[in-house]
Amino acid sequence: MTVRPITILGHRALERPTRRVREVTEDIRTLVADMFETNDAADGAGLAATQVGARWRIFVYACEDAAGVERRGVVVNPRLERFGKLVLDEESIEGCLSVPGLGWPTARFTGARVTGIDLEGEPVEVSDEGGVLARCLQHETDHLDGTLYLDRLSPTARREALDAVTARGWRARGLLTWDPRQLAADEV
């Protein structure tokens, strides 16, 4: 397993929709193992394939559900269903490994269900209502559709977020990725 560099806002991989996985190959299994390793190294709640520069419709997750149970898994070819209320409050701060070290209030539905397949090609369903996992399922599926959480912010919050990103100097330094083995997210 390998920790892969994580793409940063501005990297082309984050702007493109992904391709469906037609067959789970050894290359796909290696990618998923690397994604888990990378997510763990970055202390993330989840990681989409686009965040390591791959265009496959896959994400991994490792976070708590509403009951406080740590959930960990992979979904290949996820399809998202949102339910519950659309909420934006002081508890709605969301971050992203592709916008490291920053977080902004982001409206999300309280519940989410994702269906897809696992690495054995078997059907998988992951759902949560009211926990970090519900937010993660929506966030990671957005990545696979070429959407960042910044795209979901209000115009004012989006401007503030983009100003904060500019102040970090990623583009000025030519950064399009960061290595979670070498830097903490707030150091990028």
Q: What distance, in Å, lies between the first and last C-alpha atoms of the chain?
A: 23
Q: Is 11 annotated as a binding residue?
A: no
Q: Which amino acid is at 72?
A: R
Is the distance from CB of 11 to CB of 98 less than 8 angstroms? yes
Dihedral sign, CA of 97, 103, 104, 109?
positive
Q: Is 143 annotated as a binding residue?
A: yes
Ramachandran bin of 174, using left for φ above 0, alpha for ψ from -120 to 50, beta for the remaining angles: left
User: Could you confirm whether 91 is annotated as catalytic?
Assistant: no
Name the pairing type of β-strands 177-178 and 123-129: unpaired
Q: Which amino acid is at 68?
A: G
**Distance between CA atoms of residues 108 and 133, nearest Å:** 12
Alpha-helix runs per DSSP H in 26-180: 26-42, 132-144, 155-168
Dihedral sign, CA of 159, 54, 139, 99?
negative
The one catalytic residue among 64, 129, 140, 160? 140
Active site residues: 140
Q: Which residues are known binding-site members?
A: 96, 139, 143
Q: Which residues are known binding-site members for Fe cation?
A: 96, 139, 143
